[in-house]
Amino acid sequence: MTAFDLSIPFGLGLMSSLHCAQMCGPIVLAYSLPLRGTRRSGVWAHLSYNSGRLITYGLMGALAGAVGGRLAGFQRAATIAVGPPC
């Protein structure tokens, strides 16, 4: 792997971190600022936020995989119906 090959995923990761800073950052600030000075409550707030986030992303990924699996079957049937490519 060359340095250029590694620069592409690095650049994409750097650009996608802007999404986190602009969207997730204010959400975390909104629920954590009122909890200042209470360490135990802050830990539980962060754990519940991140657990909900991970569960939601997991369910959305499973749904996307199920839809993609169904579309793959449709694509296979459509290919057979239309005929092989020349």
From first to last of its 86 residues, what are the pLDDT tens digits of the chain?
Answer: 788 889 999 998 888 888 888 888 888 888 888 777 766 677 888 888 889 999 999 999 999 999 888 887 787 777 788 876 65
- The 10s digit of each residue's pLDDT in 18-33 is 888 888 888 888 888 8
Torsion of CA 32, 37, 39, 40, to 10 degrees: -90
Answer for the pair 29, 42: CB distance below 8 angstroms, yes or no.
Answer: no
* Residue ranges making up the domain that contains 28: 1-36
C-beta of residue 31 within 8 angstroms of C-beta of residue 49: yes
Q: Do residues 41 and 51 touch, judged by C-beta distance below 8 A?
A: no
User: Does 15 share its domain with 43?
Assistant: no
32 and 59 fall within a common domain: no
Domain count, the chain: 2
Question: Do 44 and 84 belong to one domain?
Answer: yes
Same domain, yes or no: 30 and 50: no
Let me know whether 29 and 42 are in one domain.
no
